[in-house]
Amino acid sequence: MVASCPPLRPPPNSFRTVTASPHGRLPSGGDSVRSTACTAINTRRKSPKFAAGVDISYRFVRCKHCRRDGVVSSSSPPTLPVSAFIATDDDNSDTEAIQPVKSITSDPQTWREAMSSDKREVWAKAATDEFNSMRDDFKVFTIEDRSTVPAGATIVTSKFVWKTKRNALGEVTGHKARLVAQGNRQRDGIDFNETFAPVARFSSIRSLLALAAANGLHVHQADIDKAYLHGDLDHDIWMTTPRGFDLPTDKVLRLRRSIYGLKQAGQIWNRHIDASLRDLGYTATGTDHCVYSRIDDRRRPHYIALYVDDLLMISPDLAEIERVISGLEQRYGVKRLGPAEYILGIQIRRLEDGSIALSQERYIMDVLARFHFDTTTRGTTVPMTPGLSLTAIPGQGTERIRSWYLQAIGSLLYISLGTRPDIAFAVSYLARFANNPGRRHWIAVKHILRYLRATYRDELVYACGETRITGVVGYSDANWGACVDTSVSTMGYVFYIAGSAVSWSSKRQSRVADSTTDAEYLALSHAGKEGIYLSQLLEELHVQPVAPAHIFTDNEAAAAVAHDPVRVSGTRHIRLREHFVRDMVNRGDISLSHVGTSNMVADIFTKALGPKIFSTHCYALGLRTRHPRLGSASHSRGGGCEESTLSSTGAPRSLRAPASLAPVVGT
């Protein structure tokens, strides 16, 4: 049978592996290729044309080059830089379009799957190397008799996790087997105590990259090899021997060091790397404990963002980056990755003018392939149809729809949190129905996927230039009573540093607002907290001087309540904690200004907009479409955005703050 697909959509023609042409070049007419694991569907016959796993031989009759940036197969070199072509079967009885997907076959989930795959020798070697390295190099465990385990002690089970390593283009760079403990059997207070381990916030990482682009700083990347194996355990823990190794059944592994899968492993590693970075002269910021800074003798700041074992180093001096890496190499195995290109599923490009562009093109294409959206899928100009209203109806969806819905929402959330603020509202809105999605909800999810299919090349661009950064500028908005089920309002904000969007949010409010002013006031309090955080982060990153965070609102009454509560009646019901914005205004930590509704960028986070205004706000957020041939960010996204109304800061000129408040001032 053909591989399973999400409901409401048949799978398109696709190949999981395709061999190269005989001469190792781009295929052309007359060349033969072979395919396995074919999932082609003949839609004209409405039945499977070929069963999954059948070896089929194809002869090219014509090539159609839809893209030249993809790779057909990473398992049968030489690879083919083509992502769509027209092929026919050997007897020329039928001709169909084939779109090979970037996502090759999935990694094995169990030892049995790994050892029964065509890469069993590769996986077996990776598992052996992992076990020997843990035992001999890192001294993670010792092999002991089961009789030495104290009575009542828990023996956690072990397993291997298999991973095919790929680069930013999806090309295979290696195969890895990781021996992990199944920590779900650990007991709180006996086998572990504290488990929390911080990671750098996405908004912090984007803020650092905005500073790097604005000031022309170097951005390099490094990875700590086998990070979790460096910390000593704070409890005695025993683990079963892994499958596939010739060890007696009466033997167990006594863990001496932390290992992947233990509940406290993340915290132990974080304490270890934190001490190492402090020894190198760096100090963790109080705002984000995984963002580190250092001032050198010439009063120049240097930064490090830490996300588990990934380090993003930002500095005006390459010698400082070399000093940090060399210092870490004395304690760990460090992979020198050079100028940052790919981290946390985000591609980083340094443009010719020094600007920095962030995208999730590879991740988006993988998501589209997983849900069977290919190069022939028709795109859309907006992620959600304006005026769409969905409700929660208990019992309307099947378990199959719910499973696909949850997978899609999780993937889309990661995209929206990473580099695509343009889909933040649509994803947040549809996430409300995750417990009970129906057909209409799934259709709305597919609409977002079609939008991503049309805009997968979009990048979030941080402009360069000799700039003086004075603070953060934000926009806050609310859509009163937007939820048809609860009458709760939707609020959103976006904040800029150096003219670039670094933080955004779209969410429902915690209670029903009784007026537009009430809803906008709650939104200002929500945005004010993020504005304070970003201002404090800039101060700790030694960006001086830092002006108070400035927030624009399109509701004059809400701003009046924040400045002078006596002027506006009907606000006695507002809770004390919701007066946060008033307190911050009185203390001078934030300032407020009014902006016209047509220039309210945060409107994109509160409702579904039409193509023209949506495209204008996308441009204001800093989203640009990379031209596939030029390899640079273009200056428009289409959809009615007027080039003449745009400024060099990435926002409509009418959206720019006064000179004293603007995020980028002069040269």
Looking at residue 570, its pLDDT comes to: 52
Looking at residue 194, its pLDDT comes to: 76
Mean pLDDT over residues 186-212, rounded?
Answer: 88
**Where does the pLDDT of residue 278 fall: very low under 50, low under 70, confident under 90, or very high at 90 and above?**
very high
Q: Over 90: is that where the pLDDT of 96 sits?
A: no
* CA–CA distance, 440 with 420 (Å, rounded to integer): 24
Q: Over 60: is that where the pLDDT of 411 sits?
A: yes
Looking at residue 533, its pLDDT comes to: 95
Looking at residue 341, its pLDDT comes to: 93
Looking at residue 294, its pLDDT comes to: 96
Q: Over 70: is that where the pLDDT of 414 sits?
A: yes
Closest to 362 measured CA to CA, from 14, 103, 632, 11: 103
Mean pLDDT score of the chain, rounded to an integer? 77
Strand 56-63 to 85-89 pairing: antiparallel
- Between 442 and 93, residue with greater pLDDT: 442
Strand partners, 143: 253
Looking at residue 494, its pLDDT comes to: 97
Most confident of 189-193, 310-314, 540-544, 563-567: 310-314
Structure tokens at 559: 């701003």
Looking at residue 544, its pLDDT comes to: 76
Mean pLDDT over residues 364-376, rounded?
Answer: 84
User: What are the chain's domains?
Assistant: 1-104 (no CATH), 111-344 (no CATH), 359-454 (no CATH), 463-655 (3.30.420.10)
On whether the pTM is more than 0.75, the answer is yes
**Where does the pLDDT of residue 571 fall: very low under 50, low under 70, confident under 90, or very high at 90 and above?**
low
Looking at residue 496, its pLDDT comes to: 94
φ, ψ of residue 213 in degrees (nearest 5): -70, -45
- Write the burial class of residue 655 (CB in 10 Å: 0-12 exposed, 13-18 middle, 19+ buried): buried
Amino acid (1-letter code) at residue 666: G
Closest to 369 measured CA to CA, from 428, 427, 452: 452
Q: What percent of the chain is predicted at pLDDT more than 90?
A: 48
* CA–CA distance, 629 with 623 (Å, rounded to integer): 18
Structure tokens at 228: 């979790």
φ, ψ of residue 608 in degrees (nearest 5): -80, 125
| Cβ count near 434 (within 10 Å) | 14
Looking at residue 521, its pLDDT comes to: 86
**Where does the pLDDT of residue 461 fall: very low under 50, low under 70, confident under 90, or very high at 90 and above?**
very high
Looking at residue 171, its pLDDT comes to: 78
In 3-state terms, what secondary structure has residue 218? strand
Q: Over 50: is that where the pLDDT of 309 sits?
A: yes
**Where does the pLDDT of residue 579 fall: very low under 50, low under 70, confident under 90, or very high at 90 and above?**
low
**Where does the pLDDT of residue 574 fall: very low under 50, low under 70, confident under 90, or very high at 90 and above?**
low
**Where does the pLDDT of residue 466 fall: very low under 50, low under 70, confident under 90, or very high at 90 and above?**
low
Residue with tokens 């591989």: 3
**Where does the pLDDT of residue 476 fall: very low under 50, low under 70, confident under 90, or very high at 90 and above?**
very high
Mean pLDDT over residues 27-44, rounded?
Answer: 37
Mean pLDDT over residues 47-73, rounded?
Answer: 32
Which H/E stretch holds residue 534?
helix 516-540
Q: Over 90: is that where the pLDDT of 277 sits?
A: yes
Looking at residue 324, its pLDDT comes to: 97
Q: Over 70: is that where the pLDDT of 519 sits?
A: yes
**Where does the pLDDT of residue 305 fall: very low under 50, low under 70, confident under 90, or very high at 90 and above?**
very high
CA distances from 652 to 424, 639, 647 (A): 20, 15, 6
* CA–CA distance, 398 with 181 (Å, rounded to integer): 34
Strand partners, 347: 342, 359
Amino acid (1-letter code) at residue 297: D
pLDDT digits (tens, 9 = 90+) for 597-649: 889 999 999 999 999 999 999 999 999 988 654 444 444 554 333 332 333 33
Q: What percent of the chain is predicted at pLDDT more than 70?
A: 74
**Where does the pLDDT of residue 660 fall: very low under 50, low under 70, confident under 90, or very high at 90 and above?**
very low
**Where does the pLDDT of residue 572 fall: very low under 50, low under 70, confident under 90, or very high at 90 and above?**
low
pLDDT digits (tens, 9 = 90+) for 159-184: 999 998 877 667 788 899 999 999 88
Helix, strand, coil abundance in the chain, percent, nearest 5: 30, 25, 45
Looking at residue 384, its pLDDT comes to: 95
* CA–CA distance, 470 with 473 (Å, rounded to integer): 10
Q: What's the chain's length in residues?
A: 667
Structure tokens at 158: 């072990």
* CA–CA distance, 576 with 41 (Å, rounded to integer): 61
Q: Which strands, in side-by-side order, build the sheet including 141-145?
A: 141-145, 251-257, 232-240, 155-156
Q: Over 70: is that where the pLDDT of 406 sits?
A: yes
Mean pLDDT over residues 356-366, rounded?
Answer: 93
